[in-house]
Amino acid sequence: MASIEVYRGAGDRPGTPIVEPLLADTALLARGRAEMDRHAHVVEQVELDAVFRAGLRPGQLCEVTDPTQLLARRVKLVGVALRFGGDTLDCSLSLEEPKA
């Protein structure tokens, strides 16, 4: 059974290995790369109220315009929450962006 060795910090602290007995070696390598990419940069969590649009899915990249600075930012959508209240549909998005 193959596993991916994990190191934390500057590579001086061993982490818990990734062991998935049902995954092939190529899938394990892809999972290891995805974990490294996921933790490569410090990200900032952002909550945003928005107009709901069909097709929003976690993992999508979105462009968000900050109305106070008129700057467009590219963020990753990590969660969608919908609330029904009377005649309205409220949509709240959870986003991640690289910390500046």
User: Do 65 and 49 belong to one domain?
Assistant: yes
User: Do 53 and 89 belong to one domain?
Assistant: yes
Structure confidence at residue 100 (pLDDT): 67
User: Do 80 and 34 belong to one domain?
Assistant: no
- Sign of the Cα torsion 22, 27, 32, 36 reads negative
User: Do 55 and 75 belong to one domain?
Assistant: yes
User: Do 60 and 87 belong to one domain?
Assistant: yes
Range of the domain at 92: 43-98
pLDDT at residue 94 greater than cutoff 90: yes
User: Do 50 and 89 belong to one domain?
Assistant: yes
Question: What tens digit of pLDDT does each residue of 2-54 get?
Answer: 777 777 777 788 888 877 777 788 887 888 788 777 777 788 888 988 888 88
User: Do 47 and 34 belong to one domain?
Assistant: no
User: Do 52 and 91 belong to one domain?
Assistant: yes
User: Do 84 and 71 belong to one domain?
Assistant: yes
User: Do 26 and 52 belong to one domain?
Assistant: no
Name the domain count of the chain: 2
Structure confidence at residue 7 (pLDDT): 79
User: pLDDT confidence of 93, banded at 50, 70, 90?
Assistant: very high
Q: What is the largest CA-CA distance in the chain?
A: 56
Q: What is the pTM of this model?
A: 0.59
User: Do 16 and 47 belong to one domain?
Assistant: no
C-alpha–C-alpha distance, residues 94 and 70, integer Å: 21
For 37, the enclosing helix (H) or strand (E) is: helix 25-38
Q: Which residue's structure tokens are 């969608």?
A: 80
Question: What tens digit of pLDDT does each residue of 55-86 get?
Answer: 888 889 988 887 787 888 888 999 999 998 88
